Amino acid sequence: MNTEEYLKLPYGVTLRHMNDESGEYFFATVEEMPGCMSDGKTQAEALANIREAMELWIEGRLEAGLEIPAPSASGVGREYSGKYVVRLPKSLHTRPHGLR
């Protein structure tokens, strides 16, 4: 496969809104591509930049003869149990009738 074919696959991109000492921006990473990250002042800019980062990441791996990971199945066609687990402090858990 070539770079363009890999870019058509459904890789898991995570986009986070950040507000730190650098200011306010959006930070993007690719779940299956360790070290592949980018950012932008807007969501659209961050997504465009991560696309470019993905292209460079894939090209570098191909040139080095390294494996390109397949997209993970997390979230795509995944079944969810409906269970939501929350941890409570032991002191709250041992109280009769929960909160008082």
H helices within 41-89, ranges in order? Answer: 43-63
Residue 44 belongs to some domain of the structure: yes
Domain count, the chain: 1
pLDDT for 14: 94
Residue 72 belongs to some domain of the structure: no
Tell me the residue range of the domain where 15 lies: 3-63
H helices within 8-99, ranges in order? Answer: 43-63, 90-93
Predicted model pTM: 0.71
> CA–CA separation, 68 vs 4, rounded Å?
13
What percent of the chain is predicted at pLDDT more than 70? 74
Question: Does residue 87 have a pLDDT over 80?
Answer: no
CATH of the domain at 28: 3.30.160.250
Averaged pLDDT of the chain? 85
Instruction: Report residue 72's pLDDT band, with 50, 70 and 90 as the boundaries.
Output: confident
Residue 16 belongs to some domain of the structure: yes
> CA–CA separation, 63 vs 54, rounded Å?
14
Residue 11 or residue 79, greater confidence = 11
Residue 33 belongs to some domain of the structure: yes
